[in-house]
Structure 1
Amino acid sequence: MSRWIYSLAALLAVFLIGLWYTANAQVSGSASQEPISLSYLSSDEPLSLSDIYEKSRADWQPLASNRASFGYTDDQYWLRVQIERKSYDRILHIGYPLLDELNIYWVQSDNVKTYALGDHKPYYERPILTSEFSVPLPAGESGTLYMSALTESSMRLPISIRSETQFFDAQMQKRLAEGIYFGVLLCMAVYNLFGFVASREPEFGLYSLYTLFFGGLMLSLDGLGFRYLWPESLFLQDKGIPIFGSLTFLTAALFAYQLLRLKQYRTTLARGLFIMAGLSIFTLLLGIFASYKVSIHVLLIFAAPGCLYLLIVGAYLWRKGLVYAKMFTIAWGTLLVSVIANSLGYLGVIDSMFIQRHAIMLGSGIEILLLSWVLAVRYSEQRREKLEAQQRYNEELEDNVAERTFELQIALRELQDVNSELEKKNSEDSLTGLYNRRYFSQQLEKEYRRAYRSKVGLCLLMIDIDHFKKINDNYGHFIGDQILKGLAQRLKQSAKRPADVVCRYGGEEFAIILPDTTRQHAEIFATQLVETIRDNPFPTDSGERSITISVGIAELNSLAGQSTESLFKTADEALYRAKRDGRDKVVTI
């Protein structure tokens, strides 16, 4: 039992940390979006782009935010936004995967680019293969962008414009939380499937199916199923939510009936579960044969009362004194709150993309973990009733083993902490807190091998403070050390990707390793870095001091058999040229 609690606590902690990380990533991602001004109009009959041209300015209504939400509607909605010219490639992202038809027209002075999107069209026809909808905005182009949307689902158009780097970084962070979530679901499904095979207890098999169907529902809601599992099946993409939602409630009703043994307490509540199962079969048939608009409304109407009924059943058994009824009630209460929040979001009552994306993910994740714990308790209770005499001895022995194991874990953890601290000190520069030259050499070799093996880009930046000796001579080494520390912090803040490595090579020289980076992106990064250092003085005890830096860039050429030594030598030579040619600049060789 204790092992189960520890395991579930660990999984729950990982799950919550992943969602917390994504929530913070979403906040920082919102800050990185370009400000856009949106206006919209709606029509109860389809309009073409030429019809839109004929509309007067008064027909367009401004939007207060870039998260347009209109609830369930049959109207066609048009959005308009001006795209200004930028010197870098950008991506327009519509963060809602359940739009049936989404047509994007980028009207420029000499032509009109058209993108026909939506989940009624094959997945591989999308210009950018993401679970939602994205189109490229190349550098140097501007114009007016029109979007028209029709859907039987909730009409939501959360729009953002980011640079390519910011967009794919946000996508990576989102995939992290989704990977943790679906990993937990898969672990629970497989574990309980093994439990069913070993014990032949039907509640294990039903719970495993329930977890799998709930995972299918979440894959459909997030568009991940269309991306990874059924990209060729437009039918399953259109019907996935009502089908998986109905199967989820069907298996939930059967699971609760098997787990709680309601016929031993109150047969009326047991009949209610059979009625819930029958209604689930009805919504399943609607999901298969009726339109999405009809089936999703019926499913949403059925979802909250279904969770509420299971909550009532759990509360009743809680009052009866069942050991596991308390956690069962908390589990379904958590899911009920998340389902209500999600339903209100899709109906347009709550205008929060975070709630729609993560409320049901968080609620269902906690509910599935708690139900797995309830199932373990239930099975443990049965075994204890059968083997009570033998278990007394086993519990005593298990407690002793657990105590010794816990003590050993503490000792190993303390030893690991000491080793980690020593390892950190061996690879850390004592003044700046950056990685030192020893770590730089090891990491450069590691990234070189990975880049050579995977045929991806690798760039090395060598950085030197211009005229740093004069600073030490004029203001003293203490002020020089303060500037070194300040520069180290700014370098760490600029290298935002987890794989980027910032090191102090020696004295006033620094190095930055940029994996999976092309020469062009490295030059953009270095230029922005040089400008930031030049334009922002460093606070010191002797007042603000301005400095400049010189940067040399080298790009790995694996086809030419380039080694780490030659890569470093090239970057160092580029740095020398930058200093020789006047400093405060970037040179690439």
Structure 2
Amino acid sequence: MPQYLRYLLLFIGLLLVPNLSMAAHPHATPHCLSLDASDPARREALMNHVCFLSATPGTPGHSAESPVELPADIDWTPAGGHDLVFSHTDSVYWVRLNVWNSGDTRELWYLKLNYPLLDEVTFWRSGEQADQPLTTGDQYPFLSRGIDYRYFLFPVTLDAGESQTITLRIQSSGALNVPLSLETPAAAIAESNHLTLIHGLFYGALLVFAVFNLLLYFSSGTGYYFYNAFYMASLGLFLFAMGGFANQYFWPDSTGFANTSIPILMSVSCLAMTLFGRSFLEIPANAVADKVLKGLALTSTGLFIMAFLLPYNKSIVLSTTAALIIIGGLFIIGIIRWRQGYLPAKWYVMAWSGMLAGALIYSMAAFGYLADFLAREIFMQAAVGAQVILLNYAMVQRWRLLNRKLLNVEQNARTELELKVHERTAQLRSTMRELEKANRQLATLSLNDALTGLYNRRHLDNLLPELCAEARRTGHPLTIALLDADHFKAVNDSWGHEFGDQCLQHIADILRRHVKRPRDVAIRFGGEEFAILLPGTTSEGAFGVCQGILEDIADLPVLSDDGTPVTLTMSAGTATLLNGEDERELFRRADEALYLAKASGRNRTVHSEPEVS
């Protein structure tokens, strides 16, 4: 069972969904490259041509209602090939795209924004075919979009050789995710048909399972069938709303309710999953777990009421926090019941394991921490589908368990005792196998640094003696490089430890790019201290590796939260194993070389030369 506990480490506090604004200026921006819309390859690389502006309250961009009101010298930021995702702020976001048609005929494309939960989106086109702006979003009736589609589709028509500047302005009360694409009508229809099939299968299967469980409840009177139907229906409706379908089909004229419905349906889903877990796991009355689940059910009810009273940006935080707590609580209680010998809890825990991963990835995408929201939505549906199958299978196992108990009651005491001994033995063997597997996984995890994903000091202590012994036996060279970030304390003092962690992850990424050979190992063995083990590498080769790393570190600054580039440097010391030398002496010489690199001015590599006797 311990292997499932590691999923709990994935829980993070989610920020408010940031407001997204997009806008384009009617004049060309020098560093916003024009996109040839007739070139499919260029359309695939759309984000290489997009620029954006984050306009904070009090700035001209925040109060501007159209592109012409933006200052001519505004500083646009290129997207650089990345999807635009923003954590929660009060800013207005403008997005610009310059397009032109190099073809010989007039063509139509659609600029698609694949994220449904945006309060206000305004679309402008400049050029010969400039027309009135299109303003839409959740604060407007659904038909204001002009095209009956759950995401935002904006038509872009260009004559042969014509150029246009497209501007989007987006303002929202939640997290901001701006996945943009420029597609031909045929491609948009094909993708829509494909997604319609996927969503139809998913929601259809969810509805069938819900109705099936409801019929089982009416025929048997067993409560957990009803709660399971309630859970699947509420979760399906929540995902339906998150995907923009509810706003499209259920309340197209209820402006603003598309956002409000999210915390409402989330609280209902929390209540449903709590009631189902309490019923299915057969929690004893007045037990601690029973009291906890009753408290969570009351909390979900309170959040349902608060969703009508609080602003969206407040209620979504409370509802999301409650959902994470409830999912984690049910997961832990399921593990406890499994350890207590309640066999159906095994499948219940497995079902929630996939749900934890899917919910985390989906929520991070929805709240602007992961790109490609559409792919995460499909992944979440797959996770929910797997959970529904496992939960229903768990109920089958529960029914089989109850049936077995009824059969056992009919047997005499001796047969009943033998069956129980056999069952306990089988459970013990299963538990031992799972425990052995978990211990192996735990041993593997203990060798990795949690922040950077590199190997840690324990792995260094285990591996270095082995490599030294191998080098002495084979006569092949072994070189160790120690690297240390220069003036890293000043980075933490100036920008905070959270930014310092980002810098360490940045350094780790560069190390991974340069440590390419299968047997080379990159290690973080201290705060800002790193090591590279290079078996079969001479001092010259190690020097080249270190110099490449130092150059990349210095050439690739890390952007702080306010967009300021922070340049890092590192110093490196290397040492190659000598005859008769052990791992401690090798490490000491590399450390002295690193110290010498620091003392010599930093941002350099120093190799430890053998001492002359």
TM-score (norm 2): 0.56
The 5-angstrom pairing of residues 308-347 of structure 1 reads: 308-347=328-367
Q: Answer yes or no: is the 8 Å Cα contact 1:70–1:155 preserved in 2.
A: yes
Of 205-214 and 280-289, more deviation after overlay is shown by 280-289
Q: Residue 304 of structure 1: CA displacement?
A: 1.9
* CA 1:51–1:144: 2 relative to 1, 3 Å: closer
Q: Residue 301 of structure 1: CA displacement?
A: 1.8
Q: State the alpha-carbon separation in 2 of the partners of residues 210 and 135 from structure 1.
A: 36
Q: Residue 44 of structure 1: CA displacement?
A: 2.3
Kindly tell me the number of residue pairs found equivalent between the two proteins: 362
Is 1:73 paired with 2:92?
no
1:234 is paired with a residue whose SS is coil
Q: Residue 207 of structure 1: CA displacement?
A: 0.8
Q: Answer yes or no: is the 8 Å Cα contact 1:72–1:154 preserved in 2.
A: yes
Alignment-derived partner of residue 230 in structure 1: 251
* CA 1:234–1:379: 2 relative to 1, 3 Å: farther
The 5-angstrom pairing of residues 5-404 of structure 1 reads: 33=44, 35=46, 37-45=49-57, 46-50=62-66, 53-57=69-73, 59-65=75-81, 67-85=83-101, 87-109=106-128, 111-140=130-159, 142-234=163-255, 236-263=257-284, 267-354=287-374, 356-386=376-406
Q: Answer yes or no: is the 8 Å Cα contact 1:132–1:223 preserved in 2.
A: yes
Task: Return the letter of the residue paired with 1:132.
Answer: Y
2:319 is paired with a residue whose SS is helix
User: Residue by residue, what CA displacement relative to the aligned partner does 1:381-417 show, whole Å, maximum 9, x if unpaired?
Assistant: 33443456999xxxxxxxxxxxxxxxxxxxxxxxxxx
Of 42-51 and 140-149, more deviation after overlay is shown by 42-51
Higher relative contact order (CA 8 A, sep 6+): 2
2:132 is paired with a residue whose SS is strand
Q: Residue 58 of structure 1: CA displacement?
A: 5.0
Q: State the alpha-carbon separation in 2 of the partners of residues 338 and 248 from structure 1.
A: 15
Q: Answer yes or no: is the 8 Å Cα contact 2:207–2:233 preserved in 1.
A: yes
Q: Answer yes or no: is the 8 Å Cα contact 1:213–1:247 preserved in 2.
A: yes
Q: Residue 217 of structure 1: CA displacement?
A: 0.4
Q: Answer yes or no: is the 8 Å Cα contact 2:119–2:256 preserved in 1.
A: no
2:179 is paired with a residue whose SS is strand
Q: Answer yes or no: is the 8 Å Cα contact 1:154–1:346 preserved in 2.
A: yes
Q: Answer yes or no: is the 8 Å Cα contact 1:73–1:155 preserved in 2.
A: no
1:104 is paired with a residue whose SS is strand
Alignment-derived partner of residue 516 in structure 1: none
Q: State the alpha-carbon separation in 1 of the partners of residues 152 and 410 from structure 2.
A: 60
Q: Residue 291 of structure 1: CA displacement?
A: 1.2
Q: Residue 322 of structure 1: CA displacement?
A: 1.4
State, as a whole percentage, how many aligned pairs show the same letter. Answer: 23
2:63 is paired with a residue whose SS is coil
Q: Answer yes or no: is the 8 Å Cα contact 2:138–2:257 preserved in 1.
A: no
* CA 1:159–1:263: 2 relative to 1, 3 Å: same
Q: State the alpha-carbon separation in 1 of the partners of residues 313 and 304 from structure 2.
A: 14
* CA 1:172–1:34: 2 relative to 1, 3 Å: farther
1:130 is paired with a residue whose SS is coil
Alignment-derived partner of residue 419 in structure 2: none
Q: State the alpha-carbon separation in 1 of the partners of residues 114 and 213 from structure 2.
A: 34
Q: State the alpha-carbon separation in 2 of the partners of residues 345 and 35 from structure 1.
A: 20
Q: State the alpha-carbon separation in 2 of the partners of residues 279 and 70 from structure 1.
A: 30
Q: State the alpha-carbon separation in 2 of the partners of residues 126 and 390 from structure 1.
A: 67
Q: Residue 190 of structure 1: CA displacement?
A: 0.7
* CA 1:315–1:254: 2 relative to 1, 3 Å: same
Across the aligned residues of Structure 1 and Structure 2, the Cα RMSD in angstroms comes to: 2.4
Of 197-206 and 338-347, more deviation after overlay is shown by 338-347
Q: Residue 112 of structure 1: CA displacement?
A: 3.6
Alignment-derived partner of residue 525 in structure 1: none
Q: Answer yes or no: is the 8 Å Cα contact 2:87–2:367 preserved in 1.
A: yes
Q: State the alpha-carbon separation in 1 of the partners of residues 158 and 75 from structure 2.
A: 31
Q: Residue 57 of structure 1: CA displacement?
A: 4.5
Q: State the alpha-carbon separation in 2 of the partners of residues 363 and 148 from structure 1.
A: 34
User: Residue by residue, what CA displacement relative to the aligned partner does 1:392-444 show, whole Å, maximum 9, x if unpaired?
Assistant: xxxxxxxxxxxxxxxxxxxxxxxxxxxxxxxxxxxxxxxxxxxxxxxxxxxxx
2:95 is paired with a residue whose SS is strand
Q: Answer yes or no: is the 8 Å Cα contact 1:345–1:355 preserved in 2.
A: no
The 5-angstrom pairing of residues 520-535 of structure 1 reads: none
Q: Answer yes or no: is the 8 Å Cα contact 1:66–1:158 preserved in 2.
A: no
Q: State the alpha-carbon separation in 2 of the partners of residues 167 and 299 from structure 1.
A: 34
Q: State the alpha-carbon separation in 2 of the partners of residues 82 and 253 from structure 1.
A: 51
Q: State the alpha-carbon separation in 2 of the partners of residues 215 and 75 from structure 1.
A: 32
Q: State the alpha-carbon separation in 1 of the partners of residues 313 and 117 from structure 2.
A: 12
Of 33-42 and 140-149, more deviation after overlay is shown by 33-42
Task: Return the letter of the residue paired with 1:305.
Answer: I
Alignment-derived partner of residue 399 in structure 1: none
* CA 1:178–1:30: 2 relative to 1, 3 Å: farther
1:144 is paired with a residue whose SS is strand
Task: Return the letter of the residue paired with 1:307.
Answer: I
* CA 1:195–1:294: 2 relative to 1, 3 Å: same
1:81 is paired with a residue whose SS is strand
User: Residue by residue, what CA displacement relative to the aligned partner does 1:102-132 show, whole Å, maximum 9, x if unpaired?
Assistant: 0111122463431111012111222111001
Task: Return the letter of the residue paired with 2:155.
Answer: P
User: Residue by residue, what CA displacement relative to the aligned partner does 1:429-487 show, whole Å, maximum 9, x if unpaired?
Assistant: xxxxxxxxxxxxxxxxxxxxxxxxxxxxxxxxxxxxxxxxxxxxxxxxxxxxxxxxxxx
Q: Residue 213 of structure 1: CA displacement?
A: 0.4
* CA 1:170–1:110: 2 relative to 1, 3 Å: closer
Alignment-derived partner of residue 427 in structure 1: none
Q: State the alpha-carbon separation in 2 of the partners of residues 358 and 245 from structure 1.
A: 19
Unaligned runs of 5+ residues in structure 1 are 1-28, 392-589
Task: Return the letter of the residue paired with 2:84.
Answer: A
The 5-angstrom pairing of residues 447-458 of structure 1 reads: none
Q: Residue 316 of structure 1: CA displacement?
A: 0.7
1:99 is paired with a residue whose SS is coil
Q: Answer yes or no: is the 8 Å Cα contact 1:66–1:159 preserved in 2.
A: no
Q: State the alpha-carbon separation in 2 of the partners of residues 142 and 128 from structure 1.
A: 24
* CA 1:42–1:235: 2 relative to 1, 3 Å: closer
Unaligned runs of 5+ residues in structure 2 are 1-39, 412-613
Could you say which structure has the higher helix fraction? Answer: 1
User: Residue by residue, what CA displacement relative to the aligned partner does 1:261-316 show, whole Å, maximum 9, x if unpaired?
Assistant: 1116x800111111111111122112222111111111222222221111101111
